[in-house]
Amino acid sequence: MNSALALGIDVGTSGARVVAMAPDFSIVAQASAAMSDFGDDWRDPAVWWQAVEHALDRVLAGIDRTRVRALAVDGTSGTVLPVDRDGAPLAAALMYNDPVGDAAMLAAIKAHAPAESAAHGATSGLAKLMQVQSAAKASHVLHQADWIAGRFSGRFDVSDENNALKTGYDPVARRWPDWIARTGADASLLPQVVPPGTPTGTLTSAVAERFGLPREVVVVSGTTDGCASFLATGATEPGDGVTALGSSLTIKLLSDAPVFAPQYGIYSHRVGSGWLAGGASNTGGKVLAQFFTGDRIAELSETIDPAVSTGLDYYPLLAKGERFPIADPQMQPRLAPRPENDATFLAGMLEGIAGIEALAYARLAELGAPKLRSVRSVGGGAKNPVWRAMRQARLGVPMLAALSEEAAAGTARLALAGGRDAGVF
């Protein structure tokens, strides 16, 4: 069985990526496809599926497809879609960042949802469910990953604990709570929820024939793109942290207990026997990009000595408002005074973001999460050696290499785990 393979499918904001992984976690093939190649509407589920098909076809062309034993899917957190009993979409999807503007709906959630619930806010999955639940013939409201997985298995009634979190799922009690119905949401539309990595079915005969895959390939419940990115790094022990230095700064820490602190923008996803605690800041690479191109950042970084402090006290934001590790919608950016020297200005911003990262991990520890023991970094900013040195000085822990930065690799690990449970690995 050592020749068996698992497929991880990542459906992101702009495209799909597929990874084929061996049981030793080595990646034997990978490919991607841009959604823009198949249409201009990223809310159209048909575009998602075409991107997945294209990326999967490319991976399967490079491997022996009869070796595939399991697959799993991750998708953007908070993206929802109403479907009929056969899984046919009944409306365009509401994406992860689409806000619900109905004040009465948001007020109903606020009135009934516990403070620690991730269902609060205009972009929550629950608010979106309430907006689309009136779609004619709706059987379920699914998350993006649920629907893609359903295209493989024929099941359009199941989700995972991570994607369900923002729709109001209680990951501690492991059930949909009773208060959801009191908001006016139609609880009958909620899918069954299982832990990530749970076998949920096998390929339909039509899909098996379409891709030339064995009919017995096990479809395994997936996760959100953020959780998948964490799993891809190889972090496995409590106290292992993963910092995503992309357009935003996102922090996740593996914890042996959940941390819910909405006053700091902190929530937890259940993964295996542990929890991923953390949050996302409004700082990050998008602030740097407001002032400098990527090439200019690289050029200026070569002139910065990370051991020499600028003395600047920056909190880099594009506009007022912060989510984590400080939750303050009125918080103002702090980017003054601006020195005449561009390298000093950049260094000050890099120091500021490094300070926010350190505060985030310290905040998690204050609230009961394990003390940080290591950090793995992903995203474009992870490649900047000057920034890395600044961050290590602030954090004071080993900076370990991520095994992979591909969310699809993390999802392939879930497929392997589910496949082992099903006895196919």
- Does an H or E element contain 225, and which? helix 225-232
- Predicted pLDDT at 263: 84
Q: pTM of the full predicted structure?
A: 0.91
pLDDT digits (tens, 9 = 90+) for 316-346: 999 999 989 998 989 999 999 999 999 999 9
Domain range annotation of the chain: 5-227+407-421, 237-400
- Predicted pLDDT at 385: 97
* Residue in the block written with tokens 């309430």: 130
Comparing C-alpha atoms, which of 411, 380, 425, 417 is closest to residue 162? Answer: 411
> Does the fold of domain 237-400 match that of domain 5-227+407-421?
yes
| DSSP-derived secondary structure letter, 108 | H
Total Cβ atoms within 10 A of residue 71:
30
In contact, 72 and 410? CB cutoff 8 Å: no
Q: CA dist 10 to 229, 257, 385, Å?
A: 10, 27, 28
pLDDT digits (tens, 9 = 90+) for 15-64: 999 999 999 999 999 999 999 999 888 899 999 999 999 999 999 999 99
Tell me the C-alpha distance between 269 and 385, whole Å: 31
Total Cβ atoms within 10 A of residue 264:
21
In contact, 252 and 375? CB cutoff 8 Å: no
DSSP 89-139: BSSPPBPTTPPP--HHHHHHHHHHS-TT-TT-STT-HHHHHHHHTTSTT--
- Does an H or E element contain 83, and which? strand 80-83
Spell 87-108 as b/e; 16+ CB within 10 A means b.
Answer: bebebebbbbebebeeeebbeb
Spatial strand order in the sheet of 5-11: 27-34, 15-21, 5-11, 68-75, 218-224, 199-202
Comparing C-alpha atoms, which of 344, 337, 333 is closest to residue 305? Answer: 344
For the domain 5-227+407-421, what is the CATH superfamily, name and number? Answer: ATPase, nucleotide binding domain (3.30.420.40)
Task: At 85, give phi and psi (nearest 5°).
Answer: -65, -20
Tell me the C-alpha distance between 259 and 265, whole Å: 11
| Three-state secondary structure call for residue 127 | helix
User: Taking the domain 237-400, which CATH number applies?
Assistant: 3.30.420.40
In contact, 418 and 199? CB cutoff 8 Å: yes
- Predicted pLDDT at 2: 61
- Predicted pLDDT at 309: 97
Tell me the C-alpha distance between 323 and 41, whole Å: 29
Q: Which residues pair with 33 in a beta bridge?
A: 16
Residues in the chain, pLDDT under 50: none
Largest CA distance in the chain: 65
Q: Which residues pair with 190 in a beta bridge?
A: none
- Predicted pLDDT at 376: 97
Q: Which residues pair with 206 in a beta bridge?
A: none
Beta strands in 265-413 (DSSP E): 267-271, 274-281, 374-378, 399-400
| DSSP-derived secondary structure letter, 412 | H
